Amino acid sequence: MQKVLTGNQTVSWGVMRARAQVIAAYPITPQTTIIEELANLVDEGKLEASFIKVESEHSALAGCIGAAQAGARTFTATSAQGLALMHELIHWASLGRLPIVLADVNRAMAPGWTIWTDQNDSLSQRDTGWLQFYCESNQEVMDTAIQAFKIAEIVKLPVMLVLDAFFLSHTAEAVDIPEPEEVDKFLPPYEADLKVDFDNPRAFSGMTGVDIYQEFRYLQHEAMNEALTVTEKVDQEYGKQFGRTYGLVEPYRCEDAEAIIVTTATATSTAREVIDQWRDRGESVGLLKIRTFRPFPTELVREALRGVPKVGILDRNICPGFGGIFAQEIKASMYDMEEKFRPDIYGFIAGLGGRDITPDTINEILEKTIHPEKTEKHLNWIALRD
């Protein structure tokens, strides 16, 4: 069934198809319509779930943690300050190895007060042990939402499904909604190995001494590494059943490229159009889309960029005093590559606080990457006002 849905509605329908059992959430723009739609779907009896209204985002994730510990498939959604308020429990969910799925509608951090998109809210959660998927279209949001629960439940780590404020969250376009019985085949009910069981009481998350805490961290790290292959496998399996796959990265028109730009989320979609225009003019340029930020697809990035003379990285985020966050990750991935294959890498910051990323933005980044005489290697601000 195809329907014209906003990105936020798409999240809600994906969560319905995944048959989430517990949703605990607190409203915040631009996420609010996700949980409004879910509340409606629960109210109309289309989704059999407990919808728990709470007094803050901190409590929302606490509710999900309790429910997941009891063996329920759980979901929540938030943005920006709401995600920041969850931070303590963001760590808890991952170290507790709870397969919670959270949709973060990327919204820039305040102040100045803002509701528009950039990635600093989700990227601030880099070291918490959550998987993060950045989506390019509403269809990818739908498919990733369904995949997310499966991946989370296999590797026992929580997943953040990330979509741009307004450029996806409030953008309506046609989405193919998989049939419920098909999704049920792909994603059977969640069976937790360890859960609250009144007949067999256990303690969870208790005092962990110096003799064993490091091993918990080791296992969490290994689970994240395992997530690389699990994500790939689940995506392939999804593709066989539903005809759509995304990979962890996607090279687009990279054959014999002189220069490649690296993008994420909706900027990728606009950039595809621009890359086609440059290719039509005979320019050898390509695009590398990064879909998963955690686990970071180091080997796939190395493979895609190996031997490419010049690479420009578009970051819709900033690590103040250092530079773009994806640029950091990519450079770290390339460090030990043989010098003759290692590209010159240029970092670009654009689109913060919801500033539009237009074809001109992409054109400028391509120009500055191909003709780097006046381009800073580390960090270049695009369309910065005086």
Partner 1 sequence: MVEFRFHSRGGQGGVVAGKLMAVSLFKEGKHVQTFPTFGVERRGAPVMTFVRISDEPIRLRNQVYEPDHIVILDPSLIQHFDVTQGLKKDGIIIINTDKDVSEFNFPSDFHPVAVNAARIAINHKLGSITQPIVNTAILGALAKITGIVSLDSVVAAVKEEAPVKPEANAAAAIEAYNSVEAVAI
Select the residue interacting with partner 1 from 133, 134, 166, 346 (CB under 8 A): 166
Select the residue interacting with partner 1 from 40, 88, 174, 204 (CB under 8 A): 174
Instruction: Identify the three-state secondary structure at position 74.
Output: strand
Residue 356 engages partner 1 in binding (rule: CB under 8 A) = yes
Q: Which stretch binds partner 1 (CB under 8 A): 166-174, 227-235, 280-288, 332-340?
A: 166-174
Binding residues with partner 1: total (CB under 8 A): 23
Residue 134 engages partner 1 in binding (rule: CB under 8 A) = no
| Per-residue contact string for residues 79-118; x = within reach of partner 1 by CB under 8 A | ------------------------------------x---
Q: Which amino acid would we find at residue 69? A: Q
Q: Which stretch binds partner 1 (CB under 8 A): 64-72, 163-171, 209-217, 254-262?
A: 163-171
Contact 131, 231 (CB under 8 A): yes
Select the residue interacting with partner 1 from 358, 363, 379, 383 (CB under 8 A): 358
Nearer to partner 1, 125 or 361 (CB): 361
Residue 171 engages partner 1 in binding (rule: CB under 8 A) = yes
Nearer to partner 1, 39 or 345 (CB): 39
Contact 65, 42 (CB under 8 A): no
Select the residue interacting with partner 1 from 58, 253, 272, 279 (CB under 8 A): 272
Residue 170 engages partner 1 in binding (rule: CB under 8 A) = yes
Contact 143, 244 (CB under 8 A): yes
> Which residues neighbour 105 within 8 Å (Cβ) at sequence distance 6 or greater?
7, 8, 30, 31, 34, 77, 78, 79, 117, 162, 163, 164, 165, 168, 169
CA distance 274 to 207: 54
Tokens read off for 372: 């780097």
Residue 243 engages partner 1 in binding (rule: CB under 8 A) = no
- 273, exposed or middle or buried, with CB in 10 Å at 0-12, 13-18, 19+? exposed
